[in-house]
Structure 1
Amino acid sequence: MSNRTPSQQAALDRSAALEHQVRAAPRTFRVLTGDRPTGALHIGHYLGTLANRVRLQNLGVEVIVLIADYQVMTDQQAGRRLPATVRGVVADYLAAGIDPDRSTIFTHSAVPALNGLVLPFLSLVSDAELHRNPTVKAEAEATGRPPTGLMLTYPVHQAADILFCHANLVPVGLDQLPHLETTRLIARRFNERYAQHAPLFPEPDALLTATPMLAGLDGKKMSKTRRNGIALQATEDQTAAMIRRAPTDSERRITYDPVARPAVANLLDLLAAASGADPRRLADEIGNGGAGRLKQLVTEAVNELLRPVRERRAGLADDVSYLDSVLDTGNTRARQLADATLARVHHLLGMTYANRQLRLVG
């Protein structure tokens, strides 16, 4: 029996219908997606998001990829490493197959007009609605501290990220649906209040990823900051060493039982995701080969999957001028979109005098 809620099942059904529409008319969709640059991207990103972005790009969908550098202000350690981390993320994107001639890669901090949408959007949600957001609550529980103002308003910032470019499709996991629902709520309330006759913002739909969320090698949520995922930039030897250290259990025979044998199931899930096979069938094939054989197969599958990505990345990582040029081009494109959207918002809010003053000063 499925443990999905009715709303989650409805989202899955809607996503399946959207997938057919994307294949039939890809150019009618604009996707906004992105990452917080808190560390190196790992295999969970590649399987869960990067490969899907490349797929959508190659279908002909307009893909806009945000590097949310403002969001790392909640993590001082990540902020100190920001320039190298951002360039590393760009290299990961390009190595995975994101084509800067067909897709837009930009940094949050380089697009002031995007952030100019946050204040009007904040006026459309209540304090109680922000505190009820499951992701905000989970972040507070994980850190043991009350959320900062930035974290509390993160769903509103994310709404600005999505709506500044009028994205109508956002690839997410089931756990991210509440964030997207906040974006849909803000779009709907803005249109009802200020643009009843000609809605300005679309209510974006969720395109749910088909790849299950992979746990880290330690069994906890795979995270850049925990460093429990296999980085795209890791060498094959480093990958093998990480997998050798992954926990299993004392039973010799390999079986797939996520409840009773979570550590073994975790490795089987990774092997299945990297190889495209069913984890139960893989467990049957390994049988009495034990944890050693399982880890050997996981290592081979992961290294085989990531080998072309790593080879492309090796030629990109040290070319700082090229990585910066990719960002310059993407930032320019994002600024054009954001400036046009903010100007329309100002017009609807009756703030056209501000725009005239800006033109006079400029």
Structure 2
Amino acid sequence: MNTFSASIERSDTLRSAVNENPDRYRILTGERPTGLVHLGHYFGTVSERVRLHSLGVDTFVILADYQVITDRDAIGQVRDNVYSAVLDYLAAGIDPDRATIFTHSSVPALNQLLLPFLSLVTEAELHRNPTVKAEHAASGRALSGLLLTYPVHQAADILFCKGNLIPVGKDNLPHVELTRVVARRFNERYGDVFPEPQALLTSAPEVPGIDGRKMSKSYRNAIALSMTDDETATLIRRAPTDSERVITFDPDNRPGVSALLTTTALCSGVDERQLAAEIGDAGAGELKKITTEAVNEFLAPHRRRRNDFARDPDFVRCVLRDGNRRANEEATRTLDEVHAAMGTVY
């Protein structure tokens, strides 16, 4: 059995265990607030996050603002992005009374874990990490120290709260494995402090952007959850297609048309090829109309809840302040354990 097949088998067994005893698990999940939360995030991570949270799994959601600058010169509109993301989490179904939503920069004790953790990994192990290699290649710039140590920072994110369940896609499995290595080496060297977290593989679809590439904030091809109906319609209307009038699903040769079909299928629950057959020779204009209607209808409940929360900005700020407080309490307890294990209590 190959490594990935074994990961799938372990994940299936783990999923059953979580469903039976959700209170035994704690997840750490989140993202870099480099832009607005979009449809790709929703289908890729947010919906699974909400599902686990609704089961009763203890949920920590990090907005990794420090990691915004791993591959860029400026931090951008990070504060606005953080508050916007909190609104989307609340609208999606994360209950702030039962979850901890926090920011990297607000939890100093978490970031202090980076120092002892760095002593537990080699430079070669960091250079081998697929995300480090991919982000470095995409940035087109010299490899920064922050990007090189990004996987260890993620290990600190997970281990500060002793997360033992990490929902990830296939591409992020190496991050969980390195976190397990860090936990195991620390425990072997200093005594048992950290659990070795388990990866829960998600079967989330890759959501294409309106241009056929992967939906990404950096490509400016993303449908943000916070857009209005009109803004969504305008974005989809500008989507590149082709001159062929008959609509077919062919991602390799017709990326623009196929991206719109996939987006519509995800939002409506209908197969891409069935959609293409129904549209037939009605052309790209009809396809864009159907896609707009499907997206706006799918996001309507989310947007209504989001707008309701947005009317009370003080509440949103309180959610984040309370989450930061809880995360600090958790991180301080863990750092105290680390100091005691290492013999650095003075």
Partner of 2:288: 295
Q: Is the 1:170–1:205 Cα contact (8 Å) retained in structure 2?
A: yes
Instruction: Specify the code of the residue in structure 2 equivalent to 1:63.
Output: T
What are the equivalent positions in structure 2 for 1:350-361 lying under 5 Å apart?
Answer: 350-353=343-346
Instruction: Specify the code of the residue in structure 1 equivalent to 2:45.
Output: T
- Runs (4 or more) in structure 1 with deviation over 4 Å come to none
Calculate the TM-score normalised by the size of structure 1.
0.91
Q: Is the 1:211–1:273 Cα contact (8 Å) retained in structure 2?
A: no
Q: Distance in 2 between matches of 1:315 and 1:159?
A: 35
- After TM superposition, the structure 1 stretch with the greater mean CA deviation from structure 2, 32-41 or 80-89, is 80-89
Partner of 1:66: 62
Partner of 1:95: 91
For the residue of structure 1 that corresponds to 2:242, the secondary structure is coil
- After TM superposition, the structure 1 stretch with the greater mean CA deviation from structure 2, 275-284 or 145-154, is 275-284
For the residue of structure 1 that corresponds to 2:309, the secondary structure is coil
Partner of 2:208: 215
Q: Distance in 2 between matches of 1:16 and 1:82?
A: 36
Q: Is the 2:114–2:152 Cα contact (8 Å) retained in structure 1?
A: yes
Q: Distance in 2 between matches of 1:259 and 1:133?
A: 29
Q: Is the 2:211–2:255 Cα contact (8 Å) retained in structure 1?
A: no
Partner of 2:188: 192
Deviation at 1:80, TM superposition (A): 4.0
Instruction: Specify the code of the residue in structure 1 equivalent to 2:290.
Output: L
Partner of 1:230: 223
Partner of 1:31: 27
Q: Distance in 1 between matches of 2:138 and 2:316?
A: 34
Structure 2 residue 120 is matched with structure 1 residue 124: yes
Q: Distance in 2 between matches of 1:144 and 1:90?
A: 31
What are the equivalent positions in structure 2 for 1:239-278 lying under 5 Å apart?
Answer: 239-278=232-271
Q: CA RMSD of the aligned region, Å?
A: 1.6
Identity of aligned residues (%): 59
Instruction: Specify the code of the residue in structure 1 equivalent to 2:129.
Output: N
For the residue of structure 2 that corresponds to 1:352, the secondary structure is coil
Structure 2 residue 326 is matched with structure 1 residue 333: yes
Instruction: Specify the code of the residue in structure 2 equivalent to 1:216.
Output: G
Partner of 2:336: 343
Distance 1:322 1:164, change over 3 A: same
Deviation at 1:137, TM superposition (A): 0.9
Q: Is the 1:214–1:270 Cα contact (8 Å) retained in structure 2?
A: yes
Q: Distance in 2 between matches of 1:282 and 1:6?
A: 36
Deviation at 1:202, TM superposition (A): 1.6
- After TM superposition, the structure 1 stretch with the greater mean CA deviation from structure 2, 277-286 or 178-187, is 277-286
Q: Distance in 2 between matches of 1:228 and 1:72?
A: 19
Deviation at 1:220, TM superposition (A): 2.3
Instruction: Specify the code of the residue in structure 1 equivalent to 2:117.
Output: F
Deviation at 1:208, TM superposition (A): 2.0
Partner of 2:142: 146
Instruction: Specify the code of the residue in structure 2 equivalent to 1:31.
Output: I
Deviation at 1:215, TM superposition (A): 2.1
Partner of 2:310: 317
- After TM superposition, the structure 1 stretch with the greater mean CA deviation from structure 2, 14-23 or 30-39, is 14-23
- After TM superposition, the structure 1 stretch with the greater mean CA deviation from structure 2, 234-243 or 155-164, is 234-243
Distance 1:248 1:7, change over 3 A: farther
Q: Is the 1:139–1:147 Cα contact (8 Å) retained in structure 2?
A: no
Q: Distance in 1 between matches of 2:250 and 2:181?
A: 40
Q: Is the 2:209–2:221 Cα contact (8 Å) retained in structure 1?
A: yes
- After TM superposition, the structure 1 stretch with the greater mean CA deviation from structure 2, 53-62 or 67-76, is 67-76
For the residue of structure 2 that corresponds to 1:64, the secondary structure is strand
Instruction: Specify the code of the residue in structure 1 equivalent to 2:92.
Output: A
Q: Distance in 2 between matches of 1:76 and 1:188?
A: 34
Q: Is the 1:62–1:102 Cα contact (8 Å) retained in structure 2?
A: yes
Q: Distance in 2 between matches of 1:117 and 1:14?
A: 29
Aligned positions, number:
345
Instruction: Specify the code of the residue in structure 2 equivalent to 1:166.
Output: K
Segments of 5+ residues of structure 1 without an aligned counterpart are 354-362
Deviation at 1:278, TM superposition (A): 2.1
Question: Once the two structures are superposed, what CA deviation does each residue of 1:200-223 show, in whole Å capped at 9, x if it has no partner?
Answer: 212212222222111211222322
Deviation at 1:318, TM superposition (A): 4.9
Instruction: Specify the code of the residue in structure 1 equivalent to 2:90.
Output: L
Partner of 1:359: none
Deviation at 1:76, TM superposition (A): 4.2
Question: Once the two structures are superposed, what CA deviation does each residue of 1:218-273 show, in whole Å capped at 9, x if it has no partner?
Answer: 22232223321111111111111111111222222222222232222222221121
Partner of 1:204: 197
Partner of 1:285: 278
For the residue of structure 2 that corresponds to 1:315, the secondary structure is helix
Calculate the TM-score normalised by the size of structure 2.
0.95
Distance 1:179 1:55, change over 3 A: same
Segments of 5+ residues of structure 2 without an aligned counterpart are none
Q: Distance in 2 between matches of 1:312 and 1:336?
A: 30
